[in-house]
Structure 1
Protein backbone atom coordinates (compact mmCIF):
# COMPACT_ATOMS: atom_id res chain seq x y z
CA UNK A 1 0.00 0.00 0.00
CA UNK A 2 2.75 2.46 0.93
CA UNK A 3 4.82 1.82 -2.19
CA UNK A 4 1.75 2.14 -4.41
CA UNK A 5 0.59 5.38 -2.77
CA UNK A 6 4.07 6.90 -2.89
CA UNK A 7 4.41 5.94 -6.56
CA UNK A 8 1.10 7.64 -7.30
CA UNK A 9 2.15 10.78 -5.39
CA UNK A 10 5.48 11.13 -7.22
CA UNK A 11 3.95 10.35 -10.61
CA UNK A 12 1.02 12.71 -10.06
CA UNK A 13 3.34 15.57 -9.17
CA UNK A 14 5.59 14.94 -12.18
CA UNK A 15 2.65 14.64 -14.56
CA UNK A 16 1.04 17.79 -13.20
CA UNK A 17 4.26 19.78 -13.62
CA UNK A 18 5.48 18.42 -16.97
CA UNK A 19 2.38 17.19 -18.85
CA UNK A 20 -0.66 18.70 -17.13
CA UNK A 21 -2.84 18.30 -20.22
CA UNK A 22 -2.04 14.61 -20.75
CA UNK A 23 -4.98 12.87 -22.38
CA UNK A 24 -4.98 9.89 -20.01
CA UNK A 25 -3.51 11.59 -16.95
CA UNK A 26 -5.25 9.42 -14.34
CA UNK A 27 -4.17 6.23 -16.11
CA UNK A 28 -0.55 7.40 -16.23
CA UNK A 29 -0.72 8.27 -12.54
CA UNK A 30 -2.16 4.84 -11.69
CA UNK A 31 0.66 3.11 -13.57
CA UNK A 32 3.15 5.20 -11.58
CA UNK A 33 1.80 3.48 -8.48
CA UNK A 34 2.01 0.08 -10.16
CA UNK A 35 5.62 0.86 -11.18
CA UNK A 36 6.49 1.29 -7.49
CA UNK A 37 5.21 -2.25 -6.80
CA UNK A 38 7.22 -4.06 -9.48
CA UNK A 39 10.07 -5.11 -7.16
CA UNK A 40 7.50 -7.08 -5.12
CA UNK A 41 6.00 -8.80 -8.17
CA UNK A 42 7.54 -12.11 -7.08
CA UNK A 43 5.02 -12.20 -4.21
CA UNK A 44 2.12 -12.44 -6.66
CA UNK A 45 3.23 -15.43 -8.69
CA UNK A 46 5.89 -18.15 -8.59
CA UNK A 47 6.64 -17.25 -12.21
CA UNK A 48 8.42 -14.13 -10.96
CA UNK A 49 10.22 -15.86 -8.09
CA UNK A 50 13.59 -16.14 -9.87
CA UNK A 51 15.63 -13.02 -10.48
CA UNK A 52 12.96 -10.64 -9.19
CA UNK A 53 13.11 -12.11 -5.71
CA UNK A 54 16.42 -10.36 -5.08
CA UNK A 55 15.34 -7.03 -6.55
CA UNK A 56 13.73 -5.55 -3.40
CA UNK A 57 17.01 -6.09 -1.52
CA UNK A 58 18.99 -4.36 -4.27
CA UNK A 59 19.58 -0.66 -4.61
CA UNK A 60 18.24 -1.08 -8.15
CA UNK A 61 14.81 -1.21 -6.55
CA UNK A 62 15.15 2.54 -5.96
CA UNK A 63 14.42 2.96 -9.68
CA UNK A 64 10.87 2.03 -8.69
CA UNK A 65 10.10 5.18 -6.70
CA UNK A 66 12.67 4.58 -3.95
CA UNK A 67 11.37 1.10 -3.13
CA UNK A 68 14.64 -0.10 -1.56
CA UNK A 69 15.12 3.04 0.55
CA UNK A 70 11.59 2.82 1.90
CA UNK A 71 12.12 -0.85 2.80
CA UNK A 72 15.44 -0.08 4.53
CA UNK A 73 14.39 2.81 6.69
CA UNK A 74 10.77 2.01 7.46
CA UNK A 75 10.22 -1.29 9.25
CA UNK A 76 7.73 -3.04 11.50
CA UNK A 77 4.95 -0.95 12.97
CA UNK A 78 6.47 2.20 11.47
CA UNK A 79 5.31 0.94 8.08
CA UNK A 80 1.67 1.29 9.15
CA UNK A 81 2.18 4.88 10.26
CA UNK A 82 4.14 5.78 7.16
CA UNK A 83 1.46 4.05 5.07
CA UNK A 84 -1.30 6.06 6.71
CA UNK A 85 0.69 9.28 6.30
CA UNK A 86 1.38 8.47 2.65
CA UNK A 87 -2.33 7.85 2.01
CA UNK A 88 -3.03 11.26 3.56
CA UNK A 89 -0.42 12.91 1.35
CA UNK A 90 -1.89 11.06 -1.63
CA UNK A 91 -5.33 12.49 -0.87
CA UNK A 92 -3.98 16.04 -0.52
CA UNK A 93 -1.94 15.81 -3.74
CA UNK A 94 -4.79 14.36 -5.81
CA UNK A 95 -7.28 16.86 -4.38
CA UNK A 96 -4.87 19.70 -5.13
CA UNK A 97 -4.41 18.52 -8.71
CA UNK A 98 -8.16 18.20 -9.25
CA UNK A 99 -8.74 21.66 -7.78
CA UNK A 100 -5.95 23.19 -9.87
CA UNK A 101 -7.29 21.59 -13.06
CA UNK A 102 -10.86 22.73 -12.33
CA UNK A 103 -9.76 26.31 -11.68
CA UNK A 104 -7.62 26.33 -14.81
CA UNK A 105 -10.43 24.87 -16.92
CA UNK A 106 -12.88 27.44 -15.55
CA UNK A 107 -10.42 30.24 -16.35
CA UNK A 108 -9.90 28.93 -19.89
CA UNK A 109 -13.67 28.77 -20.48
CA UNK A 110 -14.10 32.27 -19.10
CA UNK A 111 -11.47 33.64 -21.50
CA UNK A 112 -12.71 31.65 -24.50
CA UNK A 113 -9.84 29.12 -24.61
CA UNK A 114 -11.87 26.00 -24.21
Structure 2
Protein backbone atom coordinates (compact mmCIF):
# COMPACT_ATOMS: atom_id res chain seq x y z
CA UNK A 1 0.00 0.00 0.00
CA UNK A 2 1.21 3.48 -0.89
CA UNK A 3 0.41 6.78 0.82
CA UNK A 4 2.10 9.99 -0.26
CA UNK A 5 2.04 13.77 -0.62
CA UNK A 6 2.41 16.00 -3.68
CA UNK A 7 2.31 19.51 -5.00
CA UNK A 8 1.51 20.62 -8.54
CA UNK A 9 2.10 24.07 -10.00
CA UNK A 10 0.24 25.25 -13.11
CA UNK A 11 2.30 26.78 -15.93
CA UNK A 12 1.10 29.69 -18.07
CA UNK A 13 0.13 27.12 -20.75
CA UNK A 14 -2.04 25.09 -18.36
CA UNK A 15 0.41 22.22 -17.90
CA UNK A 16 1.48 21.01 -14.46
CA UNK A 17 4.88 20.48 -12.84
CA UNK A 18 5.50 19.23 -9.34
CA UNK A 19 7.05 16.83 -6.90
CA UNK A 20 5.89 13.98 -4.67
CA UNK A 21 7.06 11.42 -2.16
CA UNK A 22 5.45 8.34 -0.63
CA UNK A 23 5.78 5.58 1.94
CA UNK A 24 7.76 3.28 -0.36
CA UNK A 25 10.90 5.43 -0.57
CA UNK A 26 12.84 8.29 0.97
CA UNK A 27 13.27 10.26 -2.25
CA UNK A 28 11.35 13.20 -3.66
CA UNK A 29 10.41 12.57 -7.30
CA UNK A 30 9.15 14.83 -10.10
CA UNK A 31 5.91 14.83 -12.06
CA UNK A 32 4.97 16.69 -15.23
CA UNK A 33 1.49 16.68 -16.75
CA UNK A 34 0.42 18.03 -20.15
CA UNK A 35 -3.12 19.44 -20.36
CA UNK A 36 -5.33 17.48 -22.79
CA UNK A 37 -8.86 18.57 -21.80
CA UNK A 38 -9.55 21.77 -19.86
CA UNK A 39 -8.14 25.27 -19.88
CA UNK A 40 -5.15 27.06 -18.44
CA UNK A 41 -7.32 29.01 -15.96
CA UNK A 42 -7.94 26.08 -13.60
CA UNK A 43 -6.43 22.84 -12.38
CA UNK A 44 -9.62 21.03 -13.47
CA UNK A 45 -9.03 18.86 -16.51
CA UNK A 46 -7.45 15.75 -17.96
CA UNK A 47 -3.69 15.47 -18.37
CA UNK A 48 -1.06 13.12 -19.73
CA UNK A 49 1.17 12.68 -16.68
CA UNK A 50 4.77 11.49 -16.58
CA UNK A 51 6.45 10.88 -13.26
CA UNK A 52 9.64 9.27 -12.04
CA UNK A 53 9.46 6.68 -9.28
CA UNK A 54 12.49 4.50 -9.87
CA UNK A 55 11.85 4.93 -13.61
CA UNK A 56 9.58 6.81 -15.99
CA UNK A 57 5.85 6.10 -15.57
CA UNK A 58 2.93 7.50 -17.58
CA UNK A 59 -0.70 7.83 -16.47
CA UNK A 60 -3.82 9.79 -17.35
CA UNK A 61 -4.49 12.32 -14.60
CA UNK A 62 -8.03 13.57 -13.99
CA UNK A 63 -8.62 16.51 -11.67
CA UNK A 64 -12.14 17.58 -10.67
CA UNK A 65 -13.56 20.05 -8.16
CA UNK A 66 -14.87 18.47 -5.00
CA UNK A 67 -18.42 19.42 -4.03
CA UNK A 68 -18.33 22.69 -6.00
CA UNK A 69 -15.69 24.13 -3.68
CA UNK A 70 -13.38 26.07 -6.00
CA UNK A 71 -10.26 25.31 -3.94
CA UNK A 72 -10.64 21.59 -3.09
CA UNK A 73 -10.02 18.90 -5.70
CA UNK A 74 -10.06 15.14 -6.18
CA UNK A 75 -7.50 13.46 -8.41
CA UNK A 76 -7.22 10.09 -10.14
CA UNK A 77 -4.19 8.70 -11.95
CA UNK A 78 -5.37 6.06 -14.44
CA UNK A 79 -3.45 3.25 -16.10
CA UNK A 80 -5.25 1.93 -19.21
CA UNK A 81 -8.51 3.46 -17.97
CA UNK A 82 -8.30 1.97 -14.47
CA UNK A 83 -7.71 4.24 -11.46
CA UNK A 84 -4.41 3.25 -9.85
CA UNK A 85 -3.94 6.23 -7.52
CA UNK A 86 -6.44 8.55 -5.84
CA UNK A 87 -5.85 11.93 -4.24
CA UNK A 88 -7.28 15.05 -2.68
CA UNK A 89 -5.80 18.50 -2.51
CA UNK A 90 -6.36 22.20 -2.03
CA UNK A 91 -4.92 25.35 -3.54
CA UNK A 92 -2.54 27.63 -1.67
CA UNK A 93 -0.68 30.43 -3.48
CA UNK A 94 -1.68 28.93 -6.86
CA UNK A 95 -0.18 25.53 -5.95
CA UNK A 96 -2.27 22.36 -5.65
CA UNK A 97 -1.07 20.58 -2.49
CA UNK A 98 -2.39 17.20 -1.45
CA UNK A 99 -2.25 13.60 -0.38
CA UNK A 100 -2.56 10.52 -2.57
CA UNK A 101 -2.91 6.77 -2.08
CA UNK A 102 -2.96 3.66 -4.24
CA UNK A 103 -5.82 1.35 -5.23
CA UNK A 104 -4.86 -1.18 -2.54
CA UNK A 105 -5.28 1.42 0.21
CA UNK A 106 -8.48 2.70 -1.45
CA UNK A 107 -9.92 -0.84 -1.22
CA UNK A 108 -9.15 -0.93 2.52
CA UNK A 109 -10.97 2.33 3.30
CA UNK A 110 -14.41 2.06 4.94
CA UNK A 111 -17.29 2.98 2.61
CA UNK A 112 -18.16 5.99 4.77
CA UNK A 113 -14.68 7.45 4.33
CA UNK A 114 -14.65 6.82 0.58
CA UNK A 115 -18.04 8.55 0.22
CA UNK A 116 -16.76 11.47 2.31
CA UNK A 117 -13.69 11.86 0.13
CA UNK A 118 -15.62 11.89 -3.18
Asked if TM exceeds 0.5, the reply is no
Give TM-score, length-normalised by structure 1.
Answer: 0.20
Higher helix fraction: Structure 1 or Structure 2?
1
Larger Cα-atom Rg: 1
Q: Report which structure shows greater RCO (CA 8 Å, sep ≥6).
A: 1
Greater strand proportion: 2
